[in-house]
Structure 1
Amino acid sequence: MTHLVILGAGRVGGAMARDLAPDFDVTVADRSEPALARMREAGIAARAANLADPAQVKTAVAEADLAVGAVPGFMGFATAKAILEAGKPLVDISFFDEDCFELDALAKAKNLTAIVDCGVAPGCGNLILGDLSRQWDRIDAFECLVGGLPVVRTWPYEYKAGFSPIDVIEEYTRPARYVKGGRTVTMPALSEPELIDFGGLGTLESFNTDGLRSLIRSFPEIPDMKEKTLRYPGHIEKMRILRETGFFRKSPIPVGDGQVVPLDLATALLFPLWQMEEGDEDFTVMRVAVEGEKGGQRMRRELNLLDRYDPATRTTSMARTTGYTCTAAVRLLAAGGYARKGISPPERVGQEPGAWDFIREELAKRGVVFREG
């Protein structure tokens, strides 16, 4: 495995390309010429491609040994399908809405390994749970709290998007599922807020988002599982007001003599305010807690992450934590540390002996450190 094609040259895709370029032959594909120019300035091969077109995706990955997906979520499923149809293995972070296992038969028919949802969240929490499920006799509870936030809190939203802003809005509109008492519960996103204190940061608010995803299917025996997103206090109410007013609707409404899609208007107004500018500092906070039993003894494991913007490389924390988890998985595949065919969410990778240790060590080399709670 020498030639990698990264689909998407955005903030996270670019960070992954720079991380992998010293060890692999890397090409980045995107339709944004400014983004491609930044890659070329870093000495990385870049090619123009409309990644919304499956035919162009297949052309882009034609000479690749492995493809890395870093497109916005709404494009992710079609892009992953095109990659697999082209006969290429895949590591993906696009966080698409569709059921990833719909691609399992295709991947197996092509004898391909495809790791999906391989970022910080979903991603690292899944890996940790998969690793512990292999070691413990039983797991009773899993909780993942995670958020990426700007260091400087700027009114009115006190938020900047560390990844595709349209994917942030998807988090606020997609129904959220969690497991309680062995039953899957579906709630609106942004529901059940809680205030939680974090050392060195203060108080953040948590709320339901659909972060469990494949874990519900992978671990039907675990009676309690939840994932919640973290923001500065007050953010939930602002987003609920926008959502319930209708600003996130995708169907057009009459305005004057024409038609307007509310989501288009909302994104045109919100995204400039949420845009991270060069040099804007951010942090990622994550707490994963797992409870269960091993050898008749009660077990509890807590891992905490607090990662910050890297001024030396001018890389955002969200790009570091998401991108470097993905590049660690790429290196795991390249080293022969994982070879299961078909669709693999991160928890399946974590069940491979040594896989989480490998990824955790790769993250630590880059300053992304999980500490025991």
Structure 2
Amino acid sequence: MERLMSEVTVLGLGRVGYRTLKLLHELLPDANFNAVDANPGVKPLAEALGRTVFHVYSQDVLKELAKKSDLFVTALPSSTAFPILKTLAEECVDIVDVSFTREDPYLLEPVVEKCGTVFIPDAGFAPGYSNLIAGYVEKELGGLESIDIMVGGIPSYPIPPLGYVVTWNPFDLIEEYKRPARIIRNGELVAVDPLSETITVDVEGVGMLEGFVSDGLRTLLRNIRARNMREVTLRWPGHVGYMKFLRDLGLMSEDYLEIDNTRVQPVRVLAKIFETRLKADVNDVAILHVEATGIGGGRYVETAVLQGTVENPATPFFTALVHAYASYLAAKRLVKPGVQPLENMSEHKQGFQEFLEAKNVKIRIKRW
């Protein structure tokens, strides 16, 4: 039976969390909200939305809110998220998370099952909507021979010198070019050098892009069966070669060098250069392009594109749209208890799609 939640807590009011909170005010007009953040300066923004009480983050505040909240909607830094999620799970509240923790979300499965609660991890752009498509197309095609999930948040045109601007933590960005990428190849899980090959794709409505294999499959490795499966991070042409040059030169290394009696890590220097030099006020675009082939030869291609602005960048907004709609489904009791990444929620594909399209996400689907 459907029932609107009476009290929802949004934890983390950064680039994604605040947008999620705003969207949930639209989606859940009868709910009351708590907003929690370590920065008290965001209190006026949160409370200006109405039906919202702001709290400065502390462990005691979380435990108190867990006693009276029906749902926690979390958007936390990846480096600190998992212990907080574990604490909330142990309080037996439903959780919809977008924090992209390094830890496996299924580590929380025993406590979630014991509580009979819902935990939706990775409820964002990619991972997130990409997972939803994967789960949907696996059923649509009756099993998968191959699936390529290509995703990018890029400036609307290439910005010199790397065709890219840094809009998030530069260390996390650099890590994408270094960390071995787990993919499925010929039915086997393998880890490959992310810059070992350059993939090119012509995305309708955007143009020719290139990409590199990235380690973003996460729960799909557990839940989707495909003979071949990989995630590809998309960039403007030329970018992958530049990054491979920087990496091969040693500028992404964590090994210390001594320069004028000072020990420095090249990666810290590169991150600082990225942070200071790869800045630009420019419109952006979020792109998700999925190509799948079924075991019977059927094909499915879906492309989702959102154009952003300096004031409302595409990638955090797309992420917040998925985060908010997944939270809406949890609030309406339309998600089965347990750890439920979006590939397990393919029955809600049409609802997600209609919500995204209502918010100016352009979605094209081809089947044959």
For Structure 1 versus Structure 2, the TM-score category normalised by the shorter chain is 0.7 to 0.9
RMSD: 2.7
* 1:252 shift after superposition: 5.9
How far apart in 2 are the matches of 1:276 and 1:99? Answer: 34
Q: How does 1:36-115 map to 2 (within 5 A)?
A: 36-43=43-50, 44-49=52-57, 57-58=62-63, 61-115=66-120
- For 2:242, the equivalent position in structure 1 comes to 238
Give the one of 320, 342, 353 matched to 1:323: 320
Q: What is the deviation of 1:97?
A: 1.7
Q: Following TM superposition, by how much is the alpha carbon of 1:102 offset from its aligned partner in structure 2, in angstroms? A: 1.3
* Equivalent residues, number: 358
Query: Quick check: 1:127–1:356 contact (8 Å CA) kept in 2?
Result: yes
C-alpha distance in 2, partners of 1:103/1:275?
A: 38
Q: What percent of counterpart residues are identical?
A: 27
Residues 228-254 of structure 1 show CA distances to partners (whole Å, capped at 9, x for unaligned) of 000112222333344445544557665
- Change over 3 Å in CA distance of 1:153–1:129 after alignment to 2: closer
| Cα displacement string for residues 21-72 of structure 1 (whole angstroms, at most 9, x for unaligned residues) | 232323332223444454345555433226xxx6665456554221122122
Deviation at 1:284, TM superposition (A): 1.0
Distance change (3 Å), C-alpha of 1:188 and 1:129? same
SS in 1 for 2:8: strand
Residue 346 (structure 1) aligns with: 342
Deviation at 1:178, TM superposition (A): 1.1
Structure 2 stretches lacking a partner, 5+ long: none
1:179 lines up with 2:184 in the alignment: yes
Moved more, 163-172 or 94-103: 163-172
Q: Does structure 2 conserve the Cα–Cα contact (< 8 Å) formed by 1:283 and 1:318?
A: yes
CA distances 1:117-151 after superposition (whole Å, capped 9, x unpaired) = 11111111211221233344322111111101112
TM score, norm. by length of structure 2: 0.87
Separation in 2, partners of 1:78, 1:248: 29
Give secondary structure in 1 for the equivalent of 2:16.
Answer: helix
Matches within 5 A, 1:1-373: 1-22=5-26, 23=28, 24-43=31-50, 44-49=52-57, 57-58=62-63, 61-219=66-224, 221-249=225-253, 256=260, 259-275=263-279, 277=281, 280-293=282-295, 298-309=297-308, 314-341=311-338, 343-350=339-346, 354-373=347-366
Gaps of 5+ in 1: none
Q: For residue 74 of structure 1, give the secondary structure of its aligned residue in structure 2.
A: coil
Distance 1:78 1:260 in 2: 31
Change (3 A) 1:76 1:241: farther
User: Cα deviations across residues 265-316 of structure 1 (Å, max 9, x unaligned)?
Assistant: 4433322444565xx41111111122215xxx632111111110158xx321
Counterpart of 2:25, as a letter, is A
> Which protein, 1 or 2, shows the higher relative CO under an 8 Å CA cutoff with sep ≥ 6?
2
Q: Give the residue type in structure 1 aligned to 2:22.
A: R
* Residue type of the alignment partner of 1:160: V
Deviations 1:346-369 (A, max 9, x none): 11122xxx3112222222222223
The question of whether the paired residues in 1 share the 8 Å contact of 2:322 and 2:352 is answered with yes
Counterpart of 1:73 in 2: which secondary structure? coil
CA contact (8 A) 1:11 1:163 kept: no
